Structure 1
Amino acid sequence: MTILVTGSTGTIGTQVLHFLQSHPQGAGTTVRALTRSPDTARLPAGITVIKGDLSDVDSVRAALKGVSTLFLLAPNAADELTQAMLALNAARDAGVKGIVYLSVFQGEAYADVPHFASKVTVERMTQALGLPATILRPAYFMQNDLRQNDALLGGGVYGMPVGAKGISMVDIRDIGEAAANALLRREHTESPLPGETYELVGPEALTGNDLAALWSKVLARPIKYGGDDLEALEQRLKGFGPAWLAYDMVLMMRRYQGDGAVASASDIARLTGLLGHPPRTYQAFATDTAASWAQA
């Protein structure tokens, strides 16, 4: 009984490992964490560290030996699609009985956003080949707004140009918990389970003005929405990563502004069933975040 977690040291992978370890059914399950830098990886005690990279298919094959269930998170890389498809083929060849793949909310609708389109293609691969996969489709992460601390605290501005249509943002803790639940359910069955899909979303759809008002309440100071300037966003993002990725993120935000990303009541109810509790609210995230900022 062995689970392999890819992307193990990143934002989502660390949450998946945490919830696997704290889950009542996690006892007796070996968890391997794939990382390019095992010597410097800070992982929970009891996790088996495996050196590897999704861009190195031989290392993926080696990591999959003896693995029964795979959590697949492909990085935001120019060859994300290739990495994910090769990993799935290697998992099939290795006889893995269960897969949990991290896709994206409303990927089918956003055909012009590269990292959305690649994830939809991977979903189609699992369906076409009948792979025993749980597809998790997270919306925009609430924790992305941790980068807003300077703008909120220093400038009194909520600066992410999310627009006025609304986004059902998801807490990364719900992503990690949902993934752990799905992984362990597949791990503890003798025969592969059929394919299934969950939208990982928050319980409310929030606009830029909604978020500014919410932060005003939580921080007890006036906060305004910074507007929908995508050119300024692209320039900021270029300071943190490659130009192609900055443009990819701008294309995503353009679609958020034009169409929104709003979950249905049935999406929320289905996720509640997987989690065993309602998804976390943005206000709860913001309240926790404001308290940690105050302590710092």
Structure 2
Amino acid sequence: MSILVTGATGTIGSLIVQRLADAGADVRALVRKQGKASLPAGVAEVVGDMTDVPSMRAALSSVRTLFLLNAVTPDEVTQALIALNLAREAGVERVVYLSVIHADKYTNVPHFTGKHTVERMIESLDIPATILRPAYFMQNERMVQQVIQEHGVYPMPIGSAGIAMVDARDIADIAVAELLRRDRADTALPRVTLDLVGPDALTGASVAKIWGAALGREVAYGGDDLAAFEGQMATFGPGWLAYDMRLMMGGIQKFGMHGAEGSIDRLQTILGRPLRTYADFVSEATASA
């Protein structure tokens, strides 16, 4: 019996596949096109699409444990619910689902509410699962690193409520720990929910200061203008996604992103080491630029 990883070629999924392979697990990686992905030795490529029911039925055959990650798309909820229903049909009782922090609070943000819908299915049907709720990924900052370095401005309108950005590598390590814990258990384990956060509550001003220290010159915070942010995002992708991101940033400005009490200690116990800091991430990013 194997572990099926969806989203296997993305930022998080590729890290998980590699770490599971390193741990000697029997891993299947779900991909859309045969032969396009570079997978670690010993990892089986499974071609499928989460809206293609026959291909998902085939992908889930002989699977013991499922890592469910699906991209932010207009049909994200459909994809996730189909995958979970088919997993139940196949007798899969070990699931790790990548949701998002505060999915129940950012109720006007499409992809947050979509993930909350999936969480509700897991909870209402009592599916044995770990629900991972990550905050904003540090690695997303790679998209704006050139702007920061060339113009001396941090452009993400994250405001001042505080956002505990988390390193994607920490997300992957915790996901792998949970996948292996469930996969190796004698029976299905009770449902668990984990807020995945970094150790620091960051603001626009504090992030700009961290980048400035790493670059050795002043970096300013670009401010909280959500309309300008949406307009900029729309030049790089579809309008629906730019608006979704605008709504998310509005939620960050209003609520922030903070883990439940005790989250940091709980995560560091799982990892067996400290969580990576944003300052460390920026140091690495600038050193490799």
2:174 is aligned with 1:178? yes
Are 1:86 and 2:82 matched, yes or no? Answer: yes
Q: Shift of residue 191 of structure 1?
A: 0.7
1:199 to 191, 195, 219: 195
Corresponding residue for residue 120 of structure 1: 116
Of residues 225, 228, 232, the one that matches 2:224 is: 228
Residue in 2 aligned with 1:137?
Answer: 133
Report the alpha carbon displacement of residue 239 of structure 1 after superposing the two structures with TM: 2.1
Q: Helix, strand or coil: the match of 1:68? A: strand
Match of 1:272 in 2: 268
**Alpha-carbon distance, 1:265 to partner:** 4.4
Counterpart of 1:213 in structure 2: which amino acid? K
**Distance in 1 between the 2:260 and 2:85 partners?**
33
Distance in 1 of aligned mates of 2:223 and 2:177: 38
Aligned pairs (5 A) from 1:250-261: 250-261=246-257
Secondary structure of 2:206's counterpart equals helix
- 1:14 aligned partner: 14
Query: How big is the shift at 1:229?
Result: 1.4
- The CA distance in 1 between the partners of 2:85 and 2:218, in whole Å, is 52
Q: CA deviation at 1:263?
A: 2.5
1:242 is matched with which residue: 217, 238, 258?
Answer: 238
Q: Is the 8 A contact 1:112 1:251 kept in 2?
A: yes
Q: Is the 8 A contact 2:7 2:31 kept in 1?
A: yes
Return the alpha-carbon distance in structure 2 between the equivalents of residues 18 and 236 of structure 1. 34
For residues 130 and 259 of structure 1, what CA distance do their matches in structure 2 show?
Answer: 29
Residue in structure 1 matched with residue 207 of structure 2 by the alignment: 211
Aligned length: 289
Residues 170 and 201 in structure 1, CA contact (< 8 A), matched pair in contact too: yes
State the shift of 1:159 in Å: 0.8
Q: CA deviation at 1:264?
A: 4.3
- Structure 1 residue identity aligned to 2:65: T
Fraction of identical pairs, as percent: 51
- The normalised TM-score by structure 1 is 0.95
Residue 2 of structure 1: aligned partner: 2
When normalised by structure 2's length, the TM-score is 0.97
Residues 1:190 and 2:175 aligned together: no
Once the two structures are TM-superposed, the CA of residue 273 in structure 1 deviates from its matched residue by 2.0
Secondary structure, aligned partner of 2:201: coil
- Cα distance between partner residues in 1 of 2:45 and 2:272: 30
For structure 2, which runs of at least 5 residues remain unmatched after alignment?
none
Is this contact kept in 2: 1:213–1:223, CA < 8 A? yes
The residue aligned with 1:289 is 285
Amino acid across the alignment from 1:109 = K
1:101 is matched with which residue: 85, 97, 101?
97
Map of 1:44 onto structure 2? 40
Residue by residue, what CA displacement relative to the aligned partner does 1:25-50 show, whole Å, maximum 9, x if unpaired? Answer: x32x2100001023211222221111
Contact preservation (8 Å) 2:195, 2:260: no
Q: Partners of 1:39 and 1:229 in 2: how far apart? A: 43
- Aligned-CA RMSD value: 1.1
Provide the C-alpha distance between the structure 2 equivalents of 1:91 and 1:276, rounded to a whole number of angstroms.
31
Check conservation: 1:159, 1:227, Cα contact below 8 A: yes
Cα contact 2:16–2:176 (8 A) shared by 1: yes
Distance 1:226 1:49 in 2: 43
Aligned residues of 1:35 and 1:53 also touching (Cα < 8 A): yes
Cα displacement (A) at 1:160: 0.7
Mapped contact 1:205–1:263 kept (Cα < 8 A): no
